[in-house]
Structure 1
Amino acid sequence: MTTRVPRTALIILAIVVVLGAAIFFAVYRLIRQAEPYVRGENCRITTPDGTIELDIEQSQVAATIAAVASRRKLPERALEIAYITAIQESKLSNIPYGDRDSVGIFQQRPSQGWGTVEQLMDPVYSTRKFFAALEKVDGYLDMPLHDAAQEVQRSADGGAYADHRATAIILAGAFGGRVPKSVHCWYPPAEKPVKTTLAKARTELTRALGAAAKKDSWLVATWYVTHAQKYGLHQIRYQGVKWAAESGYDGWQEDESGKDAPMAVA
């Protein structure tokens, strides 16, 4: 004997299914909209040597150090020395205080002839001063990283620099541009739209990198990604991939522009 389902019950069941689907998609949409705020803002750095995360300010500092090193045509090992120093001294942050009169990312002291407080709070200037001192150290490229750092800094505990060797190697490969697509950043949308100031971004990059700022490279692409929030940049396209601010957490994605297309920043 076949039991027939009442028409009213079918209608109710259909309504329940439709309402359930509507609620599901509404909740899904809210979750997707909330994701950027839940994730906050950060940058992820991934190379064959490992993965680490930095906040956006730290990543901007790391990108600037790499740009200054490239302008001086320094090898990657010099960049690693700079990174272990900046990590130990300031955690890659441009801080206006420190031991005695030390300031900035390398905790350099005005009283020791490094420059004025204002100058040393400029990451480009302070990095130039660090590398200028490093280059005067005889045989620094053949020394253990922490010994070379200590020759420049004259810290009370020079051995502490050695703790950051693994991190420095990852940073140098990524921000120095040797490893493509190795850095991506994400952050929630601004409460008020940020005006895109690409011209200012290019000026600041040129101040650190010099004429090479006009040449396409992964160092340049990475610098733009880390500074996208500051200058209101929306996307960077390079070598067949793109990073977009609205989906920054997803990293570099395939792009139809092609590998031979010039870098595009907007």
Structure 2
Amino acid sequence: MRVPKPPSTSTPAARAPRRRGRAARLVTAGLVLLGVAGYAAYHLAGVGGGPRHPACTVTTQAGSLTLEPQQAANASTIAAVATSRGLPERAVTIALATSMQESALRNLDHGDRDSVGLFQQRPSQGWGTAAQIMDPVYASNEFFDGLVKIHGYSRLPLTVAAQKVQKSGFPQAYAKHEADAALLAGALTGRHAGALTCVTPVAAGTVSGGDPAKVRQRLVREFGADVAPRTTETPADPRDKAAQDAKNGARGGGPARRTVSVPSAQAGNEARGDESRRGWELAQWAVAHAHELKVEKVSFGNHEWAAETSDRGWTASNSDAAHKTAGDVRITVAQ
């Protein structure tokens, strides 16, 4: 019996379903990619007021560095403690490189044997109790206490200076962090104006409960008593005060009641260049701690960082307040 031959799959009629099937798959894949792109835009860029991926960046002509908010906050605390002790930028670089190697700038509650904290210091080796070492200010002071005992530490290779303090089993490991540590130190000490900025995870207005008293307390604890932070007074003119209260509501107070002002001038640093560097150091400290302290806005001179537009970084400010208090760093917390 002669068996009929099946229809050829090479005929146009047979190929059509295959082409339609391939086209449908391509359309489906395209829609999936668009969905993924939209999700990424929403979550990473804050499109439509959506959540943004929290991150801090340092950018200078020498390069760039991206940090998590907790890493930026810890790094700025280390730098602030160095400033409170009158230590040079080189000391900050050494400390940052050490912490990058030991804990990746995270305040770890665990480590090798009994090591904890930013510098993985060990209670059994006389660094203090575990609770003390877990305090970044205490841990930073302990590290600098050891560093300043080293004669000529600022002229030594970073690995040598760090090793004399830490007594690590891998002293050469500090070297790989020196470039990033120097970049970060230049920003956190104010030498690179506006080099550090952070993107907050949510738009301003969706976070509440910022406390100016907590900001003042942290400033004094990390920079020292001479930082002299103060809460900005409400307007002297009763009509201005009434208008402000009506606009912002009596519940949380207006921006003036939520703003901490810190003079950039410091005793012994009256020169304009020193004042500017000090101001940027304070301003970038506030931005590094923005997520933790619920900071809504930071301004210095004619520059401003705002949580709502944090993806833009530092922008020019044309407000009258900025010109009237050009020498102050103004830190406003969320209502």
TM-score, normalising length from structure 2? Answer: 0.67
Whether the 8 Å CA contact 1:185–1:251 is kept in 2: the answer is yes
Describe the superposition over 1:32-76 as per-residue Cα deviations: whole angstroms up to 9, x where unpaired.
Answer: 753665641000111232111100000000100010000110011
Gapped runs of 5+ residues in structure 1? 1-26
Q: Counterpart in 2 of 1:225?
A: 287
Whether the 8 Å CA contact 1:36–1:187 is kept in 2: the answer is no
Whether the 8 Å CA contact 2:78–2:137 is kept in 1: the answer is yes
Select 1:157's aligned residue among 167, 170, 177.
Answer: 170
Residue 200 (structure 2) pairs with residue 187 (structure 1): yes
- Structure 1 residue 198: Cα displacement: 1.7
Q: Counterpart in 1 of 2:328?
A: 262
Select 1:167's aligned residue among 171, 180, 193.
Answer: 180
Select 2:218's aligned residue among 188, 200, 204.
Answer: 204
Tell me: CA distance 1:36–1:149, structure 2 relative to 1, closer, same or farther (3 Å).
Answer: farther
Higher relative contact order (CA 8 A, sep 6+): 1
Partner AA of 2:123 in structure 1: P
- Structure 1 residue 169: Cα displacement: 0.7
Question: Radius of gyration: which is bigger?
Answer: 2
Select 1:124's aligned residue among 137, 140, 164.
Answer: 137
Residue 60 (structure 2) pairs with residue 47 (structure 1): yes
Residue 212 (structure 2) pairs with residue 146 (structure 1): no
Partner AA of 1:151 in structure 2: K
Q: Distance in 2 between matches of 1:163 and 1:112?
A: 26
Partner AA of 1:253 in structure 2: T
Q: Distance in 2 between matches of 1:194 and 1:53?
A: 27
Partner AA of 1:56 in structure 2: P
Q: Distance in 1 between matches of 2:56 and 2:48?
A: 16
- Structure 1 residue 227: Cα displacement: 1.3
Describe the superposition over 1:123-178 as per-residue Cα deviations: whole angstroms up to 9, x where unpaired.
Answer: 00000000000011122111001110000000001000001110011011001111
Q: Counterpart in 1 of 2:150?
A: 137
State the Cα RMSD in Å: 2.0
Q: Distance in 1 between matches of 2:119 and 2:155?
A: 22
Q: Distance in 1 between matches of 2:59 and 2:140?
A: 24
Q: Counterpart in 1 of 2:33?
A: none
Tell me: CA distance 1:35–1:77, structure 2 relative to 1, closer, same or farther (3 Å).
Answer: farther
Partner AA of 1:101 in structure 2: D
The 10-residue stretch of structure 1 (56-65 or 39-48) with the greater mean CA deviation from structure 2: 39-48
Gapped runs of 5+ residues in structure 2? 1-37, 229-262, 265-278
Q: Distance in 2 between matches of 1:224 and 1:233?
A: 8
Partner AA of 1:90 in structure 2: S
Whether the 8 Å CA contact 1:202–1:213 is kept in 2: the answer is no
Q: Distance in 2 between matches of 1:149 and 1:253?
A: 37
- Structure 1 residue 213: Cα displacement: 2.6
Residue 191 (structure 2) pairs with residue 178 (structure 1): yes
The 10-residue stretch of structure 1 (64-73 or 210-219) with the greater mean CA deviation from structure 2: 210-219
